[in-house]
């Protein structure tokens, strides 16, 4: 079966719809898994929550999801993110807030643990370096772990995971993750980040998501262009911060 893995949608309906069309163009998938941050930053929180609820019952919470219903203090965000979180909170219905509040932080599916930022500190930790990745491999039981939060596609491989040497130092090797280059997941321990649907930050403005094929044993990153300008117009109309509007065009 094939699975689509989406993360960091961030209230960007146009990007989410483009990704769903891309998934359909592949002939569909058995399940869609969502790694959190459905809302925050963007202009379409209702529509994104509705679509994720319908399409992706397998979903974990992000810091922006919890900030939007008050479970995380917006004072912990930078000013733009905080302003967007306060705006998002003002838009949501009680039912939508309840939905976000009840999302789990960690789930296990197939050979993966879905763990938002990191399995060690799901809400806030970013896995951007080999050292941070190495320290996280002991924090999940499955072979592999899927994380979001950084908005940067990448994967980390554990070195000598089954070493009997008690003095062996935990280590990990970082790898870039590019569209069209399949990553074999069988027989090794990996932490994989599929990038962001709604606010990519790797200098590529196209939406990023991943397909996992359990029969082939591979993950494949996908990049999908979408019409950014209408999203920016809706953000402008909502009064969202200029920096958040501009960054979508550059993917940073
Ligand atoms: Zn995010």
Distance from the alpha carbon of residue 111 to the mean position of ligand 1, in angstroms: 24
Residue 202's H or E segment, with its range, is none
Q: How many Å from the N-terminal Cα to the C-terminal Cα in the chain?
A: 33
Distance from the alpha carbon of residue 76 to the mean position of ligand 1, in angstroms: 14
Distance from the alpha carbon of residue 144 to the mean position of ligand 1, in angstroms: 21
Say if residues 172 and 130 touch (Cβ distance below 8 Å).
yes
Distance from the alpha carbon of residue 37 to the mean position of ligand 1, in angstroms: 5
Nearest Cα to 61, choosing from 123, 140, 110? 123
Distance from the alpha carbon of residue 149 to the mean position of ligand 1, in angstroms: 5
Could you read off the pLDDT tens digit of each residue along the chain, which spans 252 residues? 999 999 999 999 999 999 999 999 999 899 999 999 999 999 999 999 999 999 999 999 999 999 988 888 888 889 999 999 999 999 999 999 999 999 999 999 999 999 999 999 998 899 999 999 999 999 999 999 999 999 999 999 998 766 666 666 678 999 999 998 999 998 899 999 999 999 999 999 999 999 999 999 999 999 999 999 999 999 999 999 999 999 999 999
Distance from the alpha carbon of residue 184 to the mean position of ligand 1, in angstroms: 26
How many other C-beta atoms lie within 10 A of the C-beta of residue 116?
Answer: 29
Nearest Cα to 58, choosing from 28, 26, 35, 27? 35
Distance from the alpha carbon of residue 164 to the mean position of ligand 1, in angstroms: 38
Distance from the alpha carbon of residue 114 to the mean position of ligand 1, in angstroms: 15
Q: Quick one: pLDDT at residue 161? A: 64
């Amino acid at each position: 079966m094939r699975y689509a893995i989406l993360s960091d949608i961030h209230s960007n309906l146009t990007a989410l719809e483009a990704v769903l069309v891309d998934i359909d163009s592949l002939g569909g998938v058995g399940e869609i898994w969502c790694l959190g941050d459905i809302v925050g930053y963007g202009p379409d929180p209702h529509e994104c929550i509705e679509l994720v609820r319908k399409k992706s019952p397998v979903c974990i919470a992000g810091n922006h999801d919890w900030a939007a219903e008050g479970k995380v203090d917006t004072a912990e965000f930078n000013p733009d993110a905080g302003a967007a979180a306060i705006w998002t909170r003002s838009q949501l219905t009680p039912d939508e807030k309840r939905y976000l509040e009840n999302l789990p932080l960690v789930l296990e599916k197939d050979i993966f643990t879905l763990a938002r930022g990191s399995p060690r500190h799901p809400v806030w930790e970013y896995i951007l370096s080999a050292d941070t990745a190495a320290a996280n491999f002991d924090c999940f039981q499955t072979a592999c772990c899927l994380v979001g939060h950084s908005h940067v596609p990448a994967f980390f491989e554990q070195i000598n995971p089954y070493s009997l040497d008690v003095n062996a130092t935990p280590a990990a090797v970082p790898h870039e993750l590019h569209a069209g280059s399949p990553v074999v997941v069988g027989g090794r321990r990996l932490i994989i980040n599929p990038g962001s649907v709604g606010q990519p930050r790797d200098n590529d403005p196209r939406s990023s998501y991943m397909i996992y094929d359990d029969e082939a044993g591979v993950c494949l990153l996908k990049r999908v262009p979408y019409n950014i300008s209408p999203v920016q117009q809706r953000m402008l109309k909502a009064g969202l911060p200029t920096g958040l509007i501009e960054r979508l065009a550059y993917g940073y």
